[in-house]
Amino acid sequence: MKEARFEQARHLGLSGRAALVVGGGEGIGRATALALAENGAAVAVLDCERERAERVALEVEARGVRALAIGADVLDEAQVRRGLGEANSAFGGLDAVIDIVGGSSWGSLLEIDEATWERDFALNLKQHWYVARAAAQGWIEAGRPGAYCAVGSISGLFSSAQHGAYGAAKAGLLALVRTAAEEWWPHGIRVNAVVPGAVRTPRIEAGWSDGSVPRPDAETLERMALPEDVAGSILFLVSDWARKVTGQFLVVDGGSTTKFPYTTS
């Protein structure tokens, strides 16, 4: 996969700031961590696999800013709070928290079992509540503003056939973003979400190779975002350029959802 690179753009107001990227060990998370570093922010990389977090932290440090690797399972609230505590202690506070974590299970609503349903909701909704709440409590206790950005999905905006639990959880995530934005704005905390369509991550490409994920047609492939495309939108939402933006969703889908659904020929 060809990787896009960001130019130095410190005018975003991120230089000297500190951010935590939850799920930062690969794909969109890695791209976001590196983009933050290239804009002068110190970055804590949290991942369920500490080795992945450590690899990305080294890449962050290579860009001349401070980095921290944290291993934690975001499905465990105690580990979430420990991870945020480590990041806050290391950097003397955080300015932004970005949660990339998510994943879908495939199958019709008639086929999916309860365990799978619960797993998808925990991964795509409940853990965001853990992370966002812990971040907000830290900012409120410290009396400092903050920016939280979640990564949603267009599956939460439309139907999500064959991955219904994922779509329902992502729809819930967008509702959570709106509610958190309204409850926390008096404390100077902004809450937003980037809503990607299909993203060409290493995990997706591996699925194409082993046949576990169907390869898209040429038009869909052209519209697919790279992880760096999503990272750029995340940076905007946590930057000074978006200082009056809260409770909003930024769709990054190559125009997929604007396409007229019927043939015009």
Return d(Cα 249, Cα 251) in angstroms, integer.
Answer: 6
Residue 241 exposed, middle or buried by CB count within 10 Å (0-12, 13-18, 19+)? middle
Distance set, CA 230 to CA 28, 150, 161, 252, 253 (Å) = 7, 11, 24, 7, 9
The two structure tokens encoding residue 198: 């299909």
* Residue 19, H or E segment: strand 18-22
148 is catalytic: no
Return d(Cα 103, Cα 214) in angstroms, integer.
Answer: 16
- Catalytic site residue from 153, 155, 160, 233: 153
233 is catalytic: no
Return d(Cα 116, Cα 168) in angstroms, integer.
Answer: 13
160 is catalytic: no
Residue 92 exposed, middle or buried by CB count within 10 Å (0-12, 13-18, 19+)? exposed
Say which residues have a Cβ less than 8 Å from residue 240's Cβ, sequence separation at least 6. 12, 13, 14
- Catalytic site residue from 160, 170, 239, 256: 170
- Catalytic site residue from 104, 148, 166, 233: 166
Catalytic residues: 153, 166, 170
